Structure 1
Amino acid sequence: MNSVDVSINLKELLSGQNIYTNLSVPGLVEKVLARHEGELTATGAVRATTGKYTGRSPKDKFIVEEESVKDKIAWGSINQPISVEVFDKLYNKVLQYLKDKDELFVFKGFAGADEKYRLPIQVINEYAWHNLFAHQLFIRPTENELTSHEAQFTVISAPNFKADPAVDGTQSETFIIVSFERRIVLIGGTEYAGEMKKSIFSVMNYLLPENGILPMHCSANVGAEGDVALFFGLSGTGKTTLSADPNRRLIGDDEHGWSNTGVFNVEGGCYAKCINLSREKEPQIFDAIRFGSVLENVILNDQTRQPDYDDNSLTENTRAAYPIQAIDNIVDPSVAGHPNTIIFLTADAFGVLPPISKLTKEQAMYHFLSGYTSKLAGTERGITSPQATFSTCFGSPFLPLPATVYAEMLGKKIDEHSVEVYLVNTGWTGGEYGVGSRMKLSYTRAMVQAALEGELTNVETTKGAYFGFDIPLHVPGVPDEVLLPAQTWEDKEAYAQKATELANKFKENFNKFTDVSEEIRTLGGPTV
């Protein structure tokens, strides 16, 4: 294989006089302001903008097709292959580009709060604000840990280096390339900081299963008795809101591993959406945005520098990055025991799914693979009625391995630890979007609380007609009639039609899982 020894080049890059390694938060903030990369806000946070890319660039994400991984990766539109030769040439170009910079910023730290399984990483940045982001999002080392730190994976981010697709073999000027043999993530042509966070999550989704650890795109918290809960759900389902419980301590809000000893946070911080943020609705997030935090694409008042969280003129995807220690009620370090309860969240705009259902192991694996929620009319151009959305394992853009690898691990762990699994619909009741109404948050909170406290373990249930769910007939604090969706619709025939329509969408989506057992397909899925 005609490849270059990239480790020498990297060592040369990091031996220059222009390197700032693990600067303090005040030191990084000073650099951000001195380099005019961002502004200081009235809250003390730094605000930066990301130019034309205000979100991830999934079509520009690649995995190097190396001998040791090519038979393991689930290649396709998400995991696009790129050759070793193309990677090496682009890698050398980026390093030469960075070598000529006056200043470079390096963060050395970890991914994975459990010391037995953590991955030592380093992040090399062209921008100081990106390095501040990395400092807050990943796990920060102690002084002793820093002296002996040896990175096992390196993220190199050069936003102002733009690829030439005709020469460099990319799809556009932007590229996010993972090399598992080189243990490098190469990012260029985009200023969106989230690419760094999600690329390391993708790396962990490849590495952790090799050690029998299930990586999960979920939030997690723990109760006073040590009982652990996991919350899976796509955007808009209420994952952040429902996992931020004042009576439970937060383990983490987005990425976790589940080992033979319990769960642990992959990250050391939070990357929270800011659109329409208020202290009334989400006080923990609102108050965490202070000195050292990073605001991304949030509009500021020109005079007061107060953030306007309702202004979406740059993007709906406004974000705040802050260390998890900025939240008061946390587990520190972010490690806990095995889950007692798993909550799958969906916002069903068809108004079909029950507000809460108990799932068997087979149903849990089916709905984990499905990863269903719905987009609403008006959220995207051209969407005039609710659209079913499926994201495998509630995180399909970040799964290098076949989805069934993760689902089978989940099923095994549910069995081993007798975990209760529930599907909670935070969407519509009494009709689809435009006819019915959104499920009351107070009802959803009551259902989740009852599930977490074990009040639904032996409750009387009825079998759902379209998906075979066990639907509780009584939940403290929730009117009985709300629990059975068909009863909340005035037009029962319309409910039957809509339920059949959604069931067929599930079946159509599930056809892509050709290697799933017939037991999962039949016992887990729709019954019509």
Structure 2
Amino acid sequence: MVNHSENIQNLVAKDTSHVQLSTAQLVEKSLKRGEGRLTETGALRAETGKYTGRSPKDRFIVEDGTLKDKVDWGEVNQPISEEVFDNLFTKVIDYLGQKEEVFVFNGYAGADEKTRLNLSVVTEFSWHSMFARTMFIRPETKEEALAMDAQFTIVSAPTFKADPETDGTKSEAFVIVSLEKGIILIGGTEYAGEMKKSIFSIMNYLLPEQGVMSMHCSANVGENKDVALFFGLSGTGKTTLSADAQRELIGDDEHGWNEDGVFNIEGGCYAKTINLSPEKEPEIFKAIKFGSVLENVALDDEGKPDYDDGSLTENTRAAYPLDHIDNARIPSVAGHPNTIIFLTADAFGVLPPISKLTREQAMYHFLSGFTSKLAGTERGITTPQPVFSTCFGSPFLPLHAKTYADMLGGLIDKHNVNVYLVNTGWSGGEYGVGKRMDLKYTRSMVRRAISGELALNAFEEDTAFGLSIPTSVAGVPKEILNPRNTWVSEEAYDEKALKLKEAFIENFKKFGTESEDIAKKGGFSL
């Protein structure tokens, strides 16, 4: 029988292991080992090779008797046997034991001390340890870190490649979560985001069990203690819109909502950097300095990043500590939200740039989790494609969607939260015809929604989706508020809007009869 804890402890106790190194030490190690380059701003740049994003088809949860009725098994939460896990665990531990150096970081997930998770990250790459130090919450002292008893441990061997025929995986890469043993086993992929999202998945399992809502969203707070949440999938503007110079940033991606308010699950931010500019996103641009990690960003000979270069991947990333943002809120906790923003990047160009949702509409759009995939982003995609990710984060949700939806609905009711749907995508036509919504207009609409000013405006119902859209917003051209008016042909708009409605309706069928009332009261009707 495999003694998992003892094997990890023996590995960490070896002379070749480096525990809780400082940022400077990790940068020095990374450069010496040839893992990355230093940019002109002092950030460490690394390339992740073949895998430049998550590998969802290679992610598994170990199936045991205690989980059968809790986990929402399927394409997202794929089951795997304990035997397969134990076999791979032994191989990975042996593999790391032969390395000249192994790196260990101990830290926390969750700024709320009552529900935070003690975690340990054991990996063969120095820059991966730096990534963990950047993204998770750091103990105040090294002594505190060394005394920590980890509840979950990530064991990561990026250069260990599985053999699907003998190891029971689907490819050379694997991310296997054992909820019972408190271990996340990663191999075959150098993409550091797998570590971050694995811990988020764990928190999405643990927090609801404690009566705490876990959320894939960013959050900020104003000087009047008005808290806003931003739900959205990658590329919708979650990080960009929450990094507002007029408000304190609580966090950019993962949060919990308990009886006291909201709290950040992480200690850092993980922003997409493709086309990043100091004009449009000054806070993020300035945050990328010493202590930050860049993934797959092109550099010139002098170490200057080219954020417009997507030759390695469009999914270029920057990981930076929360305190690199000038107006970050430390510790990253705040009160109950006043406003929730659902973000979508509608490449069909038919959804309004902002609309106020009823309670039923909020539940419908939360369960739908819509955005769109652009033409050219994947082989074979020639026109925009609808993407639906339940609760704006289905790849990271171990429990059934209804668990998260019921909790959010209850919190919206209890705290009388205003909810808006914001389209950061296209206007005047679909992708390739129209143009993307101007960020300055989106910021203006969002700020007025959060301040409460927008709720006092006059609204009208759009003819396509039954959404309430404001008749005017200060600082925003009136003609863009109703998307039908921005198209050259109203008939072409109606046709495209109908196709998107049909996609929504078809997707919502997966929730079955339990959600019929939400679909009837809050959904799109044909």
Q: What are the Cα deviations for residues 388-447 of structure 1, in whole angstroms up to 9, with x where unaligned?
A: 111111111111111121111111110011000000112222333343333232322221
1:112 to 110, 113, 116: 110
**Do the aligned partners of 1:263 and 1:339 also contact (CA within 8 Å) in 2?**
yes
Between stretches 338-347 and 96-105, larger displacement belongs to 96-105
The one-letter amino acid of 1:232's match is F
Q: Give me the whole-angstrom Cα distance separating, in 1, the residues matched to 2:478 and 2:387.
A: 29
Stretches of structure 1 lacking an aligned partner (at least 5 in a row): none
The one-letter amino acid of 1:504's match is E
1:90 aligned partner? 88
> How much does 1:170 deviate?
0.7
2:369 aligned partner? 371
Call closer, same or farther: CA 1:241–1:95 in 2, change over 3 Å.
Answer: same
1:125 aligned partner? 123
Q: Give me the whole-angstrom Cα distance separating, in 2, the residues matched to 1:30 and 1:349.
A: 43
The one-letter amino acid of 2:188's match is G
Q: Give me the whole-angstrom Cα distance separating, in 2, the residues matched to 1:343 and 1:321.
A: 24
SS of alignment partner, residue 367 of structure 2: helix
Q: Give me the whole-angstrom Cα distance separating, in 1, the residues matched to 2:431 and 2:250.
A: 34
**Do the aligned partners of 1:404 and 1:516 also contact (CA within 8 Å) in 2?**
no
Q: What are the Cα deviations for residues 248-271 of structure 1, in whole angstroms up to 9, with x where unaligned?
A: 010001111111111111110111
1:172 aligned partner? 171
- 1:439-454 to structure 2, matched below 5 A, reads 439-454=437-452
2:320 aligned partner? 322
Between stretches 481-490 and 240-249, larger displacement belongs to 481-490
1:196 aligned partner? 195
1:390 to 388, 391, 403: 388
- 1:91-490 to structure 2, matched below 5 A, reads 91-143=89-141, 145-302=144-301, 304-490=302-488
1:518 aligned partner? 516
Stretches of structure 2 lacking an aligned partner (at least 5 in a row): none
SS of alignment partner, residue 120 of structure 1: strand
Q: Percent identity?
A: 66
Call closer, same or farther: CA 1:431–1:402 in 2, change over 3 Å.
Answer: same
Q: What are the Cα deviations for residues 235-282 of structure 1, in whole angstroms up to 9, with x where unaligned?
A: 222222221111101000111111111111111011111222222222
Between stretches 72-81 and 41-50, larger displacement belongs to 41-50
* TM-score, normalisation: structure 1: 0.96
SS of alignment partner, residue 67 of structure 1: coil
Call closer, same or farther: CA 1:494–1:41 in 2, change over 3 Å.
Answer: closer
Q: Give me the whole-angstrom Cα distance separating, in 1, the residues matched to 2:146 and 2:430.
A: 58
**Do the aligned partners of 2:102 and 2:125 also contact (CA within 8 Å) in 1?**
yes
The one-letter amino acid of 1:132's match is M
Q: Give me the whole-angstrom Cα distance separating, in 1, the residues matched to 2:343 and 2:525.
A: 21
Between stretches 80-89 and 277-286, larger displacement belongs to 277-286
Q: Give me the whole-angstrom Cα distance separating, in 1, the residues matched to 2:333 and 2:460.
A: 37
Between stretches 282-291 and 85-94, larger displacement belongs to 282-291
**Do the aligned partners of 1:359 and 1:470 also contact (CA within 8 Å) in 2?**
yes
> How much does 1:80 deviate?
0.8
Report runs of 4+ in structure 1 exceeding 4 Å deviation.
none
Call closer, same or farther: CA 1:481–1:320 in 2, change over 3 Å.
Answer: closer
2:42 aligned partner? 44
> How much does 1:164 deviate?
1.1
**Do the aligned partners of 1:466 and 1:527 also contact (CA within 8 Å) in 2?**
no
1:506 to 498, 504, 507: 504
> How much does 1:137 deviate?
0.7
* TM-score, normalisation: structure 2: 0.97
Between stretches 125-134 and 269-278, larger displacement belongs to 269-278
The one-letter amino acid of 1:446's match is S
Matched, 1:497 2:489: no
> How much does 1:173 deviate?
1.0
1:55 aligned partner? 53
> How much does 1:204 deviate?
0.7
Q: Give me the whole-angstrom Cα distance separating, in 2, the residues matched to 1:378 and 1:175.
A: 27
